[in-house]
Chain A
Amino acid sequence: MPGVFSRFANLISKARPQSKGALNETDEAHAKAGVDRKEIHTICHSCIQACPCIVTVEDGVVTHLEGDPAGPANKGGMCLKGLAAQHTVYSPRHVLHPMKLAGLRGSNEWEQISWDEALDMVATQIATAIEKYGSYATWAAAGGGGNYVSALSAGWPYAYGEPAQMSPGAIQCYLPRSCIAGIMWGGDNQSAADSSLLEIFNDYNPQMECLVIWGGQPSVSQTAQSGHGVADCRVDRGTKTVVIDPYMTPDAAKATVWLPVRPGSDSALALTWIRYIIANKLYDEQFCKYWTNLPFLINPETRFPYLAEEIWPDYVNPSADPNEVYSNPAYVCFDARTNSIQPFPYTAPEDSPVDPVILAEVEVNGVMAKTAGQIYWEEAEPWTLEKTGEYCWCKPDKIEEAIRLYTDAKVAGIAHGVATDQQRCASEAPLGVLMLDTMMGYIYKPGCTITMTNKHYETRPIAYWGPMMRDLWVKQYGISWVTGYTEKWNRERVENFEDKEGQAWYMQMMKDKLGFNRFRGFYNQDTTHAPSILHAIMTGEPYKPRVWYDFSGNKLAMMGNATSWYDALDEIDFIIGQHPIITSFHYEACDLFFPMKEWLEWNGTGSQMNKTFMYTEVVHLGETAHNFISSNRVLRRYRELFKPEDLDNPAPLNKGDYSQDSEFTEQEVRDKVAKTFNAPSWEYLKEHQDEFVPKVIPEEQYYCYNQHLEIVDDGLPAGFPTESRKLEPYCTMYLHMSRTGFPIAYPAVWERLETDYNPICVNIPPVEDPTTDEEYPLVITSGRLPYFHHGTMRHAAFARELCPVPDCKMNPRTAAEYGIEHMDWIKITSRRGSIHARAYLTEAEAPGQLWMERFWNPEAFDASQKEPDGGWRQCNINVLTTNFIENFDVKEYDESDPTKKKNPWNLVYGSFTLRGFTVKIEKSERPDNIWVEPEEFEPFMPTLTSEPVTGDVF
C-alpha cells in the first residue's frame, strides 16, 4: 500500500496463529485428516552454525521444528534459538516490505514502498554522494546477528571503489584467533564456535583425553552443535575438561577443573602455563626441536632468526629448490652434538645434521643471541604459580592441576573462545595459547584441536595472505607475498601481473583502509577498524564516510560504546539497513529499510562437519529478500542508472570479490544448490531430497592427520605452509607486518610502526584495573546466554519469557556491600555511560566481579508504549563498553605513567575492550518501556501465520 503513512506497528495484521497443540488429541486427529502436511528438511541458521533440521508444514504454515538426526554434530538436537524461528518468521515484527522513513530518524514512521523504488533510492544516494565527494563517501557494515554475510560485506564496498567496511565482530570476534593460527601453522584455529574444532565431534576415531576450554562457551553459544560435542566428549569418551572463564559457565560447572580467571588476565595465565611446562620439561622435545622455530637463534638487533647464509656466506643449503620456486630457508641453531652453532636446514627430523637445543643463549658473530625458546622462557619465567594466583585470582594448586591434566594426557587440545578477542591482549593471548598446543606437540593428531580437514599436500605447502588466508588478493590483484615460494618467484609474479591498473588500485585501497596503517592484522577478514571509521565520520579525516549500507544486525546493541555511534548519526547523510525486523539501529538511524528473509525462507547449502545439507525455502512471506540478492540488486541498479566510469574517481568495475560469484535471483541460487548436489534441477531435488542430501565426504578422507610428515615432490616431508615450513610460535610475521606491512603489502613497503607487534605472548594488562580504580571499583565482563545469538531473538516471546532482562550476576558479598538484594534493580555506570539490570546473586561470580549479557529491548517501541524509544539504552552493556574513541591519537603502550593516556587497542588488530573493564553500581529502579512478566510478551506472539506464501521477489 504505497503512499500510506502509518506507524510501522500498525502495518501488520493481528491474526493469531492456529492452535495445534495436544490438548484434544481426538479432535486434532480428526482435524488433521484434511490437512496438507509435509516434512521438509532444511538447515537452521539461528546462529552462525548450520544444524540440519526437519520442518513440518501444514497447509503452508510451519507448525513444528526439530533437529535432523542426520546432523553429525547436532545429532537431532535443536536449541531454543532454532526452535524460536517458528515464532520469529511469523512475528508481528517481521517486516515484509521495503520501508522508507516517513518522519525523522527515531520517529519509527515508515512508508511502504516498492523494491524498485527502494533500489532506485539507494542507487541514487550512493551515486550522488560519490559524484559529490568521491567514491570513499560510501561504506558498508555487517555483523551483529541475523544475516551472516561478513565476506560479502567485505567485498561489496570495493565495487563502488571504497575500502571501508566494519563489523561489531571481526577484530572483536574470531579474526585475531583465525589470523594467528593461519600465520603460525597455516591452518585452522582453535575456535569451537566457528566450526574449526573437529575432534570434539569425532566419533570416528575418538582420542581426545583432555579438552581445555579457554574463554569460550560451547554449551551456550552453539548449544546443539558444539554443546552436544563437548557433552559427548565428557560423558561418552571420558575426556577431562578444564574451563578457564571468570564465570561458572555450564561447561565450567561440568569441568574437571575450573579456573575462574580474572577478566583480562589471560595473557598472564598463558605465560604461566608456558613457564610450568618448560620448567618441568613437560613439552614434546623432539617435536619442538624439529617442527617448530623454537630452536632458531634470534638476532637480538633485528629480532628475526638468523639465516645460515648470514653467518656462513658460502653455505650451500642442501634443501634449497634448484628451480628457485619453493623456499626452504636454512636457519641457525645451537647444536648439542657439536656444542657449537650450526646451520639448521629443513629436512626430515631423522635426516637432520643437527640436534638443536631449544633453550640456549650463545655467541653468534660476536653478539649474544638467544633461541626463540629461550626468549619465550625469559618472558614466562616470572610467572610462577604463586604470582599468577595473585594476579589472575586463581588458586595456584588449581592452576597446577589444570596444567597437569593437559600435559599428562596422551592427546589434548585447547578450544580457544572469543574472550581474548575482546581484550587488549587480543594478539598476545592467542599466540600464547597456540604456543601451548605447539609445545606439547598436540598438532595434527587425532584428539587435538589443531587439525585440518581434507588436506593433502603434493608439493611444499604454501599460504596466501588474502582474507581468511585465501588467495583472493594474491590472484585477483597480483599483490601480497605467497609464503612457501622464493623471493624470485614472488617478485616475478608481481612484476608479470598483467592488470597493473587493478594492482595499483588495490594497493591504494589497502593503504586507505581506515586503521590499516596501524592495525595490519585485520587484513585477515578484509575489514576495517570501527573506531577509525567513527573518527573519520566525526572529523572528516582522512575522509568522511557518508552513505552507510548496513547488511545486518542491531549496531546500537552490538557496537562497543554504543552512545558514541548514536552521537555520530547526524554526521551520516543516508543509512540503509537490511534485516528481518526493525531493531534499535533501524529505529534510530535508518532512512530506508530492506526486509530480509528469515532462514525458514532461505535457499542455499550449508555444511556440518563432513556433510553438506540444503536450505529449502520452507515458506516465503511478503517481499522479503535474501541478504546478498538485495545488495547485488543495489549494485546492478547503481550501474544501470549511473555510469560510474564517467566519474572523476571511477570505481573499477569488476574489481573486488563482490558479484563475481554471487546471484541476482532466487532461481540462480536454486540452480546452484541443485548443481552442488548433482541434481537435474531444483524442483527435482526438492522432491527427492533423500536421493541427494546430504552430500558426504567419507570420514577417512575428511579426518586427516600428520600431513606434515607426508613426503612430497621435493623428497622432503610436506611440513607446514609457513616461511620456515615449521610451526612458528615465535611469530616473525608479526614483526614483518609492523615494520613494512610484509607479507600483505608486498611488494609495497609501508611505514615502520613505532612499536613492533609482539612476536611472542607477553602479558598485556587490562586497560581498566579494578584493583587501582577508586572511582569504578568493580570489574564487569560478559558472555553468552543460550536464548540469543548476538542481537537476535529479543522479539522471540518464548525466549524472552525465560530471560526477560539481562540479569547482572554478582557475588552476594559484593551485593551486600551496596545493600543490594537478589532481583533488585541496579544502575551500572562506567566511564562511557549508565544502564540498568536486575541483580542476580550467585557464588558463580568472584567478589568484586560482575557478568552480564548484551541486550536490547524491542518492546520499548511496541505500539502500546506511551513514550516509545529505541530500546538500546535501558539494559545494553554496550553503553558501558569501550571503543576508546577518546584515545584515538595515542599510539604507544605506556604503562609507566598512570596519568598518561594509553593506547587502549591491541597493537596488531586494534581490538578494544568489551570484557573486563571497570564500573560502579547502585540500587535503582526498573527502567521505562521494558517488559519483565511472561504475559507482557504477548504482543511478540506470531501474527503472520495467515499471510499468503508468496513467490520470488527477485
Chain B
Amino acid sequence: MEVAATLERDAQLMLRVREGDETSFALLLERHRGPVVNFLYRMVGNQSVSEELAQEVFLRVYKSRSTYEASAKFTTWLYRIATHMALNAIRDGKKEKGQQSLDQELPDGRERQVPDTSRTVEEKMVAQVRVREVRAAIDALPEKQRAAVLMHKYQGLGYAQISKALECSESATKSLLFRAYETLRSRLAHMA
C-alpha cells in the first residue's frame, strides 16, 4: 500500500513537472537522487562516473517531461533509464577505466563511507575485508544479473518492476535473480 502510494506520488510529481512546475522536479530529485546514484555506483564501481551517469538520467527525465505519460510506474521508468546508462557505460569501458579501490580516497578528499560499527582496529579490518569481498562478488556477476540483484536488494524493487526495467519476462527475471543470489551464496560461503 505504502509503495503504491509512493509511486503514485512520483507520477503526480512528474505530471506537474510536465506542466512546468520546477519545484516538483526538485522534489523528485530529492527523493531519487541517492538511490539512483547508489545503484549506479554499485553497477560501475566508480563514484565520479556514477554521479555523471545519474546526472544524465535526471537530465533525460527532465527532457522527457513533455512526453511523460503516467502509464508506467515512475521508478520502473527511472531504473530502466539508469540501467541502460550503466550497461552502456560498462560496454564503453568507463567501469574498467575508472574502477576505484575501496582504499582510494574520493577526488575531493572525503573518505568512502563504509558501515563501521566495530570498535577495535581488528574488527574494522574485518569489516573492510567483508565489504571488499561482497563488492568483488557483486562485480563478478554478469551485467544483467548484477542490475537485477542491485535493484532487488538495495532499491527494493519487486521482480515485476525489475522485469519491466530490464525489458524481459517475469519468469526470466525470477531465474536471473535466483542465479545471481545462488552465485553470491557460493562466492560468499566462506564468510557465512
A and B associate in one complex: no
A residues bordering B, Cβ < 8 Å? none
B residues bordering A, Cβ < 8 Å? none
